[in-house]
Structure 1
């Protein structure tokens, strides 16, 4: 990734996701439903802000191979991003133990799903339209 991971990102607890991926949009709904503190905000990679983030982090917005979560000013990718997100949700903190498993073992599983997500789960023609409860947490 091209971003300097030691320089804090100015926005925090942002999840960058593929907005036309049905699996990715379901992931966002999963997180939003469990994030009772409304800590996370979401940006589809297809939005202006999401595209700028993607470029900053070296993610191809036309063919994203990872989500990203910015937490503590640091961008986390692939399985690190998913596990970091889950670990910050109520009753999901136990997943932190999975971070001891080397990313070299976790990321191939993540990549297998990411590379086949459209074929397995489908793709929509446009980004998910958030309902009223989620709209104020989506950054376009």
Structure 2
């Protein structure tokens, strides 16, 4: 009977590892999609206008920048993916909606995917959005 329990425990552990690995790979895929979306926007957007937003997001990105995501600790990090979408949504909210309608639909899809990955993701997004807007306002006033 104990062999069955050991086998069951091992099988459950392997399933859990595959599930967790799949989650991290999905986060990495979403971060890569966000990077491609940002690169698609770059020729039409002056990123220097978004320096404060970049500075805010970069506080949470390890050893690199949101504009040059590297390292698995960033690309497979849910918070970085949330911040990546927040940064893109901040840009798209301030740019002409008609010229970036397709990009906005892509971003809304990425947000939906991130929010379904984890119950905490939407709260994380909303909290960071408030903090980022406060950070930008404080930076502009100094």
- TM-score normalized with structure 2 length: 0.29
Higher-helix-fraction structure: 2
Highest relative contact order (Cα 8 Å, sep 6+), 1 or 2? 1
Higher-strand-fraction structure: 1
- TM-score normalized with structure 1 length: 0.29
